[in-house]
Each structure stands twice: as structure tokens, then as C-alpha cells.
Amino acid sequence: CGIFGVVGVSDAANFVALGLHALQHRGQEAGGIVTHDAEAGFNSARRFGYVRDNFTSQSVMETLPGPLAIGHVRYSTAGSKGQTAIRDVQPFFGEFSMGGAAIAHNGNITNANALRRELIERGSIFQSSSDSECIIHLMARSMGRSIPDRMEEALRKVEGAFSVVAMTRTKLIGVRDPLGVRPLVLGKLGDGWVLSSETCALDIIGAEFIREIEAGEMVVINDEGVQSHFPFRRAKSRFCIFEHVYFSRPDSILGGRSVYESRRQIGVELAKEAPVDADLVCPVPDSGTPAAIGFSQESGIPFALGITRNQYMGRTFIEPTEQIRNMGVRLKLNVNRGLIRGKRVILVDDSVVRGTTSRKIKEMILDAGAAEVHFRIASPPTAWPCFYGVDTPQREKLLAATMSEEEMRAHLEVDSLKFISLDGLYRAVGQANGRDADSPQYCDACFSGDYPVRPVDMLEQGFEM
């Protein structure tokens, strides 16, 4: 998901709408905005679909007045399969004795089922099926005397990955979980302040990037400025390495590093680790493009756009059901036949998950008359599900969970298939000595099975680590 908040500028909701539009790649199912205004109080709008179709009309935006606003774009992960209901669309809102508060959450709470059971037993009435709603109920039960205090107490009971943007009547609040799994950055906009999942959204509203919110940090922002503290037990950060590979936009900066440059460097590493004699390097658009550029630069094999993507389709990744996903590939991608005929083609893609995309693309490339097809993948084999906010299917459906690299190659019926090594990936994102096996610098659980937070709900449901 994507989260965004603004305080201290007039008509904050307009900036939030633009920010969410720049974060649309993080979630396309639905979006919501909550605002506060001294006269109008709290207001909200929650809608299915794209930000541009919901939060641009005057009739909607004039219902969202005030200098303080937060927003959320949603895609559903693990716990919440199937169709999103409007009641699951964030931000969530709660009334407390000291006033109202709204929160928007990116990530996944790994003990949400356990917390929900306990809260329901003690009288909480849940409105949604979302794991994020636990935070509101935990806040309601807290004896803290201010909303930030209650939020702090609530979040100490929550396990897993969370970046949160929240607001009271006067304050904008930002939090990252102790491992800082999901991103969150701070920006300055005139006299006001901005919180955003990614820096690309600061750029489009003309805000200045100030710094990242740190792992385990909580910032409370009001007219007087930004107050920072660290309410959780300090831990070494484990940022999601897959944000560098796929999830974030290539024009964003993560941990001081250009996402585009990391992806290009992945291609360079891949060309060194798994060279192959061929005529063309083609990206599977758009997610494979920077890595394909790096592969071409390092290998000297010409880069070509052998596949064209229809820009008006969503990301297949985001489509909630497998049936739609299966249809999606052909609706979305088409081969440039004249270019491919008779050629030995290297296809560069970001990841192989179920393998359905790769299989269809290979068929399309062979139909177009390619002489050979070689897959080069910009991440290690995805052998484990993510429980921290990225939608991966159950372990059984992951190709790499049951097959070796050679078995996957045979299954996909391609001439060769190579994945970047985990160390190669770490080098590409700026860790010159690769992965520190004793204390990894990132979360890489979907590749390594090394889960930095025990997924207690999933273990209870029979998941085996």
C-alpha cells in the first residue's frame, strides 16, 4: 500500500490526492483521504479504483477541507484475500475521549488474528476485516492521555511490518516499525510538512525531501515543528530488499540510493554471474527495464524493446484473483514480431513467482519466431511467501518452493534460466561485501526463508518455516 500525509498548508487534501496518485503503483484497488478543518471537523472519502478517477472532481475535493490530511492507496495482502469491501478501505478513524484520530497503514501485522480474537473477547466491535483496524481498538483500550501516547502503546503490542501515517485535529504523526520493513519519508512543503511512502510523491507536489523516518521512530508534527522519539526496543533495521527490486518506483530514493540505479546494477551483476551468447536483451516491461539496461551495458549485447506494454492496464501483480491474473498477461503485453524473428533473445524480468507470466511470455516470443529464449531474473528464486505487506501466494504456488533452477527451466521450456544470487542482489543495492549471513542488512525472507519477525498468525494456521 501507499501512505501520504500533509500538515500546515491550505487545502491539504489536494496535495494528498496528488501524492497518492504518485504512489498508485503501491496499490490500485482503492483509496481514501481523511481531512480535518477547524470549522468542518473531520471529513473522509473512501472509494474503489484509481486516485485520478475519484479524487480529482471538485464535488469530492470540496468535501475535504482543511490544512491537515492523510491518505492511503490499497492493495490487499495475505490475511485479506478476495474482493475488497469499502469498509476495508483506509484511512480508519476512531473517536477517543481526547478527540478523533485517523490512521493509514502500510505493511502487515503478523499477530493480527491473535490480537483481534483478544480484542473481540474484551468487547471491541470490528468494522472491517483489515489487520490494520487492530491499531484503532488497541488505542481505544489504552489509558494514555494523548493520542500519540495511545498510538505508541498500541503499536508496542503489534508485531510485523508497519509504516503508519496518522492525524489528530492538530497533529500529523508518522511511525515505522522497529525493523523499518516498509518505507516512510519526511518532506517540507512551504511552511508545512509531508509524510510519504516514497520520495517520488514528494517530487510531484514540489516538496523538499528532508530525511527518512528511521526504523523504530515516531514523529509528531504540528505548528511548532517535528518532534521525534523512539518508543520501541531498538533493533537493527531490516528494510524490505524487494522494494529495491520491484515495489518502489524507479525515480524514488531508498536509503540514499536511487532505485533505478540499484535495478540497473542488478542487471550488471546478472550479466557477470550468468552471461550468455545472444543477439538481443529485452526487458519484460516495465519492471524488468532498468535491469535489462544494466545487463545490456555490461554484456555489450544490444538492448531492444521486444515487448510492448499497454500502459492502461494495471500491474498484473495487483489484480486480486488468479483468473484475472492469467488473462492479464496477453491483454497487457505484446511482442514486436519483426524485431524478434530469428533472434536469440535474453528476457530480463524482476521476479518469477507462480511462473505463469514467464510461461506466457516465452510462448509469445517463440510464436514470433525467436531462435532461442534465455530468462535472466533480477531477484533470487521466490521460494517463501511474504507476510510483511507484499502479496505473494501460498508457498505451494511458488514455483521455486518445489523446483530447482533446472526444474524451473524445464517447466518454462526455455533455453536457459538464471536468477541473480542473494549476494549479487545485496551488492547491487550497495552492500559491497554482499549479505552478512550473521546479521543480514535487509529483510529477504521471500528469497531466504529467514523471517525477521515470527509470523505467528501463519504458524498458527500451519505454515512451516
Q: Annotated binding site for Mg(2+): which residue ranges?
A: 287, 349-350
Q: Is 377 in the site for ligand SF4 (CB under 6 A)?
A: no
Compute the least distance from the CB of residue 361 to ligand 5GP, in Å. 9
Q: Is 241 in the site for ligand SF4 (CB under 6 A)?
A: yes
Q: Is 444 in the site for ligand SF4 (CB under 6 A)?
A: yes
Q: Is 359 exposed, middle or buried (0-12, 13-18, 19+ CB in 10 A)?
A: middle
Are 214 and 182 contacting, i.e. CB atoms less than 8 angstroms apart?
A: no
Which of 156, 157, 354, 409 forms a contact with ligand 5GP (CB under 6 A)? 354
108 interface partner picked from ligand SF4, ligand 5GP, Mg ion, none, CB below 5 to 8 A per type: none
Instruction: Work out whether strand 68-74 and strand 2-7 pair parallel, antiparallel, or are unpaired.
Output: antiparallel
Question: Whose Cβ is closer to ligand SF4: residue 205's or residue 445's?
Answer: 445
Asked if omega into 286 is within 30° of 0 (cis), the reply is yes
Helices 259-273 and 289-299 meet at what angle, rounded to 10? Answer: 50
Q: Is 390 in the site for ligand SF4 (CB under 6 A)?
A: yes
457 interface partner picked from ligand SF4, Mg ion, ligand 5GP, none, CB below 5 to 8 A per type: none
Residue 303's DSSP bridge partners are: 281
Q: Is 188 in the site for ligand 5GP (CB under 6 A)?
A: no
Residue 386 CA to residue 306 CA, distance in Å, equals: 31
Residue 181 CA to residue 108 CA, distance in Å, equals: 10
Q: Is 303 in the site for ligand SF4 (CB under 6 A)?
A: no
Compute the least distance from the CB of residue 370 to ligand 5GP, in Å. 19
Local structure of 161: helix, strand or coil: strand
Which of 391, 408, 456, 458 forms a contact with ligand 5GP (CB under 6 A)? 391
Question: Whose Cβ is closer to Mg ion: residue 178's or residue 380's?
Answer: 380
Question: Whose Cβ is closer to ligand 5GP: residue 227's or residue 404's?
Answer: 404
Which of 35, 197, 262, 287 forms a contact with Mg ion (CB under 5 A)? 287
Question: Whose Cβ is closer to ligand 5GP: residue 133's or residue 243's?
Answer: 243
Which of 1, 134, 200, 282 is catalytic? The answer is 1
Question: Whose Cβ is closer to ligand 5GP: residue 289's or residue 357's?
Answer: 357
Q: Is 426 in the site for ligand SF4 (CB under 6 A)?
A: no
Q: Is 289 in the site for ligand 5GP (CB under 6 A)?
A: no
Residue 430 CA to residue 344 CA, distance in Å, equals: 32
Compute the least distance from the CB of residue 313 to Mg ion, in Å. 12
**Residues within window 235-254 making contact with ligand 5GP, judged by CB under 6 A:** 246
Give the sign of the dihedral formed by CA 280, CA 283, CA 285, CA 290. Answer: negative
What DSSP line would sit under 66-108, residue for residue? Answer: SSEEEEEEE---TTS-SPPPGGGPSPEEEEETTEEEEEEEEEE
Residue 176's DSSP bridge partners are: 163
**Looking at 54-62, 123-131, 138-146, 343-351, which segment touches ligand 5GP (CB under 6 A)?**
343-351
**Looking at 120-128, 139-147, 209-217, 349-357, which segment touches ligand 5GP (CB under 6 A)?**
349-357
Question: Whose Cβ is closer to ligand 5GP: residue 246's or residue 295's?
Answer: 246
Are 155 and 185 contacting, i.e. CB atoms less than 8 angstroms apart?
A: no
| Residue 134 a catalytic site member | no
Question: Whose Cβ is closer to Mg ion: residue 77's or residue 196's?
Answer: 77
71 interface partner picked from ligand 5GP, Mg ion, ligand SF4, none, CB below 5 to 8 A per type: none
Residue 258 CA to residue 428 CA, distance in Å, equals: 11
354 interface partner picked from Mg ion, ligand SF4, ligand 5GP, none, CB below 5 to 8 A per type: ligand 5GP
Residues comprising the binding site?
Answer: 240, 287, 349-350, 386, 443, 446
Which of 357, 428, 429, 455 forms a contact with ligand 5GP (CB under 6 A)? 357
Q: Is 287 in the site for ligand 5GP (CB under 6 A)?
A: yes
**Looking at 50-58, 113-121, 167-175, 345-353, which segment touches ligand 5GP (CB under 6 A)?**
345-353
- Among 149, 160, 147, smallest CA distance to 115 is for 160
Residue whose beta carbon is closest to Mg ion:
287
Are 100 and 169 contacting, i.e. CB atoms less than 8 angstroms apart?
A: yes
Indicate which residues carry an active-site annotation.
Answer: 1
